[in-house]
Amino acid sequence: MNIPEIFAKDVFNSAVMEKRLPKDVYRALRETIDEGKSLDISTANVIAAAMRDWAVENGATHYTHWFQPMTGITAEKHDSFIAPTDDAHVIMEFSGKKLIKGEADASSFPSGGLRATFEARGYTAWDPTSYAFIKNHTLCIPTAFCSYGGDALDKRTPLLRSMETLNKAALRVLKLLGSDAKRVIPYVGAEQEYFLIDREMYSKRKDLIYTARSLYGAKPPKTQELDDHYFGTIKMRVQAYMEDLDEQLWRLGVPAKTKHNEVAPAQHELAPVFSIANIATDHNQLTMEIMKRTARRHKFKCLLSEKPFDYVNGSGKHINWSLSTNTGVNLLNPGKTPAENAQFLIFLTAVIKAVYLHQDLLRLSVASAGNDHRLGGSEAPPAIISIFLGDELTAILDAIVKGEHYHESGRQYMKIGVDIIPDFVKDTTDRNRTSPFAFTGNKFEFRSPGSKLSVAGPTTFINTIVADVLDEFADKLEGAQDINEAITQLIRDTVKESSAIIFNGDGYSKEWAEEAKKRGLVDLPTTPDALPHFADKKNVELFERHGVYTETEIHSRVEILLDEYIKTIRIEANTMLDMANKDIFPAVTECIRDYAQTAQLAASCNAACDYQTETVKKLTDLMSQMYAAYKELKTYADELTAYTDYEKTACFCRDKVLPAMKALRTPADELESLVGSKYWPYPTYGEMLFYV
């Protein structure tokens, strides 16, 4: 395989555009991409024709507006290019109008009350900053998805808005520092964890089929205690899958770079090279989709859910985030000159303050039923948000606050904008993996997102909260007499007021939870605790100030996300009931019958039958426990058929339904470990995790 040759072969990217578009059209498009200028229809027509020709030459028969509704996945409706002619032939047709705007019946997508049911129409609008690509013989055009009233019904629109506000705020600050940057861009690298299990075993598990999470399952003899899977040799069958996956991603221009086995057995990770936030979002969506599709071909099932199996780690999606100028200067890179250092400290402290002020937003940006099983379980960061800076950088900031000299590496440091920060160890191996938000040398790594979450939500939030602090910084610095003095003061004040958010210790420990409480940090352990805060006054004002979400859009999202939480748990509860009733009870009954018959037979000829009699007793006891739990869960699940108060119902799910599910699972798992293999209706954890 010649990678440079196949890379981005299926993408209508700037190289292709430059080659295929007339010079003035390409220039106009570049202005749209780089500076956000709007495109006129005649330019769009030329681009559409070039796009169509390229797509048809490369095997496309259809086109689609590819968008990201609030389901968190992508949606597409395909139209073929054909247009019948008078002489019973067809031509391949595609106009600028169709490129720029499409209509989609929005009625089946969650809208959280944004779109009255009588107004079913929504429209999709081309995002020229994301490249079109060919997938399954279809030209996919990345688009935003809005209601006719102009409300964003998707995840892309707020993300683009947040990038714009961040750009403006960062440029204000840079201007004060004498920079002539034209644009500031957030970059994202999304590490994606996933499980691969054998498809045949998967197809025998209703829980995995309906919920992508095992709802029953006894602890196998071995889990991850030997740490022999992490970075271990990749099995041949998995290797073949990964190679296939890489090739497909490369063709789509996704710069898949790193792949390795993860901590849990059957768990793996893929990380691309980082790119501009909205492109990284598209790429991650494509990666997830292609991971699933490729798994089918290799007779695997790819599980992207956050906690498919108890007793082993769940899967996350680490969002690496940084800010760069159009000239490629990473603003989170300490740099080598006093000016670069001052710039670094300003942007670093802006992020620190933003995270400190908006812990609630970061927490709720990753809230979902699935991720609740992961956060705080000593396998993923706790639900309490904090920042890891490393000891050395923390000491530097401390010294700035105290106005002291910092004597490490034989250098002195103090005057911002005049002196140089001593080199601190970047990317050290003891990087704290228990921290939700870690500074890793020249970027931040947000580790709380669950594996199936869209990158868009958390990135939109990070962009906006940082923009808000940068605006505040610019307000303070504009008009300062001595800019270096003003910057020193600003950094000092900012670190002082936000220092409670900095924590370099073990985020998994109980002591940290107590310490965090003392520091007054926000603790929102579950989704129903976290989500409603989206609509808090502080947050509505913040997002409206930056034009990222309107109040109505926020309310709609709270409703959609709570509804999704409730429905996820309802489906899980109903699946558990179905499995108990249809499969587990009959299987155990059969086992009891066999053992009881044997016991009877043995007794009739005076033979010992301790095993059978004792097991029958244990099995029947556990069955009774299970049945009692079954009835309780059934009552709760039935209550979830209709609801109007989302917050109350979500709390009911957390407080009643989830504990009832656990009460049903516990005796069932014990039964699994007692009942003979031939009776148990499902593949076991051991088989699913180790028998690939």
Contact 197, 207 (CB under 8 A): no
List the one residue out of 159, 68, 162, 158 whose CA is nearest residue 110: 68
Cβ pair 350, 470 in contact under 8 A: yes
Closer of 186 and 189 to Mg ion (Cβ): 189
Q: What string of DSSP letters covers 70-81?
A: TTSS-B--EEE-
H helix runs in 359-481, sequence order: 359-365, 369-372, 391-402, 456-477
Question: Minimal CA–CA distance to 456: which of 49, 129, 160?
Answer: 160
Q: Name the residue with the smallest CB distance to ligand ADP.
A: 189
For residues 367 and 411, what is the distance between their CA atoms, to the nearest angstrom? Answer: 44
Contact partner at residue 76 from Mg ion, ligand ADP, none, CB < 5 to 8 Å by partner kind:
none
Task: Please list the alpha-helical segments (H only) found in 38-130.
Answer: 41-57, 96-100
Q: How far is the CB of 316 from ligand ADP (least distance, A)?
A: 11
SS (H, E, C) 624-650: HHHHHHHHHHHHHHHHCCCCCCHHHHH
What's the rounded Cα separation, in Å, for the pair 231 and 476? 48
Which residue lies nearer to Mg ion by CB, 101 or 433?
433
The least distance separating ligand ADP from the CB of residue 271, rounded to whole angstroms, comes to 4
Q: Which does 272 bind (CB under 5 to 8 A by kind): Mg ion, ligand ADP, none?
A: ligand ADP
Choose among ligand ADP, Mg ion, none what residue 271 binds, the Cβ cut-off being 5 to 8 Å by kind: ligand ADP
Could you tell me the smallest distance in angstroms from the CB atom of residue 316 to Mg ion? Answer: 9
Distance (Å, rounded) from C-alpha 453 to C-alpha 448? 10
Binding site for ligand ADP (CB under 6 A): 187-189, 191, 258, 271-274, 318, 320-322, 330, 442-443, 445
Separation between Cα atoms, residue 243 and residue 149, nearest integer Å: 45
Residue 322 binds which one of Mg ion, ligand ADP, none, with CB within 5 to 8 A depending on kind? Answer: ligand ADP
At closest approach, how far in Å is the CB of 191 from Mg ion? Answer: 5
Pick between residue 172 and residue 268 the one whose CB is nearest to Mg ion.
268
90 binds, among Mg ion, ligand ADP, none (CB under 5 to 8 A by kind): none
> 188 or 591: whose CB is closer to ligand ADP?
188
Minimal distance in Å, beta carbon 242 to Mg ion? 18
Query: Binding partner of residue 273 among ligand ADP, Mg ion, none, CB under 5 to 8 Å per kind?
Result: ligand ADP
Min dist. Cβ of residue 113 to ligand ADP (A): 36
Q: How far is the CB of 318 from Mg ion (least distance, A)?
A: 4
Comparing CB distances to Mg ion, the nearer of 147 and 386 is 386
Measured distance CA(643)–CA(659) in Å, rounded: 20
Sign of CA dihedral 613, 615, 621, 623: negative
* CA dihedral of 538, 542, 547, 553, whole degrees rounded to 10: -30
Report what 442 binds from ligand ADP, Mg ion, none; CB cut-off 5-8 Å by kind.
ligand ADP
- Whichever of 443 and 557 has its CB closer to ligand ADP, that residue is 443
Q: How far apart are CA 454 and CA 62, in angstroms?
A: 26
Residues lying near Mg ion in the complex (CB under 5 A) are found at 191, 318
d(C-alpha 10, C-alpha 7), whole Å: 8
Look up residue 357 and give its amino acid: L
Count CB neighbours of 566 within 10 A.
Answer: 23
Least distance to ligand ADP, CB of residue 469, Å: 19
- Residue number, 290 or 516, with CB nearest to ligand ADP: 290
CA–chain centroid gap for 342, Å, is 32
Count CB neighbours of 477 within 10 A.
19
- Taking alpha carbons only, the member of 500, 477, 502 closest to residue 488 is 477
Amino acid occupying residue 335: G
Q: In the bound complex, what is the minimum distance in angstroms from residue 547's beta carbon to ligand ADP?
A: 25
Nearest distance from residue 74's CB to ligand ADP, in Å? 20
**Nearest C-alpha neighbor of 647 from the set 551, 535, 538:** 535
Query: Out of ligand ADP, Mg ion, none, which partner does residue 133 contact, by CB within 5 to 8 A per kind?
Result: none
282 binds, among Mg ion, ligand ADP, none (CB under 5 to 8 A by kind): none
Least Å from the CB of residue 271 to Mg ion: 7
Return the one option of ligand ADP, Mg ion, none that residue 452 interacts with (CB less than 5 to 8 A, by type). Answer: none
Query: Residue 189: which of ligand ADP, Mg ion, none does it interact with, CB under 5 to 8 A by kind?
Result: ligand ADP
127 versus 445: smaller Cβ distance to ligand ADP: 445
User: Which of residues 427 and 475 has its CB atom nearest to Mg ion in the complex?
Assistant: 427
Burial label for 116, CB within 10 Å (0-12, 13-18, 19+), is exposed
Q: Which residue is nearest to Mg ion (CB)?
A: 318
Minimum gap (Å) between residue 521 Cβ and ligand ADP: 24
Instruction: Rank residues 191 and 672 by Cβ distance to Mg ion and give the closer one.
Output: 191
CB nearer to ligand ADP: pick between 463 and 615 = 463
Distance of closest approach, residue 231 Cβ to ligand ADP, in angstroms: 10
The CA-atom distances, in angstroms, between 305 and each of 51, 382, 468, 658 are: 36, 18, 33, 17
Alpha-carbon distance of 415 to 345, in angstroms, equals 12
Q: Tell me phi and psi for residue 296, to 5 degrees.
A: -60, -45
**Contact partner, 258, from ligand ADP, Mg ion, none, Cβ < 5-8 Å per class:** ligand ADP
Q: Work out what residue 112 binds among ligand ADP, Mg ion, none; the CB cut-off runs from 5 to 8 Å by kind.
A: none
> Which residue, 76 or 191, has its beta carbon nearer to ligand ADP?
191
* CB of 318 or CB of 533, closer to ligand ADP: 318
Residue 92's nearest CA partner among 55, 45, 42, 46 is 55
Tokens of 466: 């940082």
